[in-house]
Amino acid sequence: MIRICGLHKRLGDFAVRGVSLTIAEKEYFVLLGPTGAGKTVLLECVAGLHPVDSGEVLINGQRATFLPPERRNLSYVPQDYVLFPHLSVFENIAFGLRLRRWRGADIERRVHEVAKMLGIDHLLARHPATLSGGEQQRTALARALVTGPTALLLDEPLSALDENTRVQIAAELRSLPEKFGTTVVHVCHSFEEALRVADRVAVIHQGKLVQIGTPDDIFMRPNCRFIAEFMRVKNILPVFSLETGESVARCSLDSSLTLDLPLKPLPDLPALLTVRPENVILEREPSSRVNSFRATVAEVSPLGSSVEIRVTTAGGVGIAALITRQVDKQLSLRPGEEVWVSLPQDALHLLPDRDLPEE
């Protein structure tokens, strides 16, 4: 388990400020945020590569704040892998074991064991320059995992890979806690990448922790406008009024459009309503669904395997829907035509109208 308590670190004009979080044993934990948010600085503070200005880092309950990197039992894989070009794959993987003065037979056994688990046992005689990006990534992972670290720290591990390899390696990364019994802390700036691998996600922005939760929490229930926009929630709609009924809450987006929401605590006004475009339902005919209303098609934008349809309500509220090519073919919608829109209750989320959470 890794605990970070009130960690502060300033580097030039930038600072990581007051970050506190706990990462469970064998958890796959992602530090997510835009470029320059402070994710890598935080990871390097955990690794011991930067002395912290204040705060604590605890590893398995032991205070590690001032321990040098080699005494933390953590393995750090930087973005560019830093494989030794003059060493074979075998010797790259064996490097940490040789530093620990393992016996030759034990090194041979352990390297082959880890290489087989990562599917690179046939590459052990090769050199890094002859490997593909995915093979280099697996070699770097094997070198990091061979010593049995408490946690594996990965800085943008998929950024240098093509899309097909990225998907494949992401699936392999996701299996590491189960395969190797290690905690993984993974830095990235792509929410799609985080959704593929994470048990939990911490979103970092401007050096501060903004939201922490499961991928579903972050994806469907953002706590501020920044998170909603970062997660590409295209429908972030100002709320006109809010009220609580006996069994549902009601939210008005304008004087003519009122929606039913699940009954739960409501934020104070001003507030925003979010609904992901893929959860918006479009139909040609009137619907008996909850939160169904008529609108006018404003724009149709093909996006490869999907199509974005933008509609406008009678009161001027703009809403984006994302539908499949097949649904688009069935509906055959064109700008200016009328369409019925439905917003499922469980897809609606209210949040305070502010850029970031309150301090």
Of 349, 211, 172, the C-alpha closest to 275 is 349
* Residue 201 banded pLDDT, cuts 50, 70, 90: very high
Comparing 133-142, 150-159, 258-267, 334-343, the range with the smallest average pLDDT is: 258-267
* Residue 128 DSSP class: G
We report the CATH number of the domain holding residue 285 as: 2.40.50.100
Cβ(314)–Cβ(253) under 8 Å?
no
Strands (E), 304-358: 306-313, 318-324, 338-342, 349-352
pLDDT class for 231, splitting at 50, 70, 90?
A: very high
Do 217 and 344 fall into the same domain? no
Task: Give CA–CA dist 41/110, Å, rounded.
Answer: 32
Residue 147 sits in the same domain as residue 21: yes
| pLDDT at residue 256, as a whole number | 82
pLDDT at 80: 87
pLDDT for residue 325 is more than 80: yes
**Percent composition of the chain: helix, strand, coil (DSSP 3-state, to 5):** 30, 35, 35
Question: What range defines the domain where residue 218 resides?
Answer: 2-225
The tokens for 61 are 């309950």
CATH number of the structural domain spanning residue 211? 3.40.50.300
Are residue 86 and residue 167 in the same domain, yes or no?
yes
Q: Is residue 313 part of a domain?
A: yes
Q: Please report the pLDDT score of residue 288 as a whole number.
A: 87
Last residue of a domain, one of 157, 190, 225: 225
| 221 and 278 co-located in one domain | no
Do 92 and 160 fall within a single domain?
Answer: yes
In the predicted structure, residue 266 carries a pLDDT above the cut 90: no
pLDDT at residue 61 tops 80: yes
Task: Check: CB of residue 309 under 8 Å from CB of residue 321.
Answer: yes
Residues 93 and 9 in one domain: yes
What are 89's two structure tokens?
Answer: 């794959």
Total structural domains within the chain: 2
Q: Do 171 and 297 belong to one domain? A: no
Instruction: Output the pLDDT for position 248.
Output: 82
Handedness of CA 182, 183, 188, 191 (dihedral sign): positive
Confidence band for 330, pLDDT divided at 50, 70 and 90: very high
- 64-73, 178-187, 261-270, 290-299: segment of lowest average pLDDT: 261-270
Domain shared by 160 and 12, yes or no: yes
Cβ atoms of 81 and 134 closer than 8 Å: no
Question: Percent of the chain having pLDDT more than 90?
Answer: 87
Same domain, 291 and 167: no
21 and 89 in a single domain? The answer is yes
User: Do 158 and 18 fall into the same domain?
Assistant: yes
List pLDDT tens digits, range 270-313.
999 999 999 999 999 998 899 999 999 999 999 989 999 999 99
Q: 349 has which bridge partners?
A: 274
Residue 34 and residue 180 share a domain: yes
The share of the chain scoring above pLDDT 70, in percent, equals 100
Nearest-angstrom CA–CA distance, 270 and 290: 24
Tell me if 246 is assigned to some domain.
Answer: no
Confidence of residue 244 (pLDDT cuts 50, 70, 90): confident
The 10s digit of each residue's pLDDT in 2-27 is 999 999 999 999 999 999 999 999 99
Q: What is the pLDDT of residue 157?
A: 92
Average pLDDT over residues 45-57: 96
Q: Which of 133, 134, 216 is nearest to 172 (CA)?
A: 134
Task: Please state, rounded to an integer, the average pLDDT across all residues of the chain.
Answer: 94
pLDDT value, residue 159: 87
pLDDT band at 218; cut points 50, 70, 90: very high
Contact between 220 and 49 (Cβ < 8 Å): no
pLDDT value of residue 279? 96
Among 168, 193, 225, give the residue marking a domain's end. 225
**pLDDT over 80 (residue 265):** no
Least confident of 56-60, 214-218, 265-269, 325-329: 265-269
**pLDDT value for 127:** 96
Give the end of a domain, one of 167, 201, 225: 225
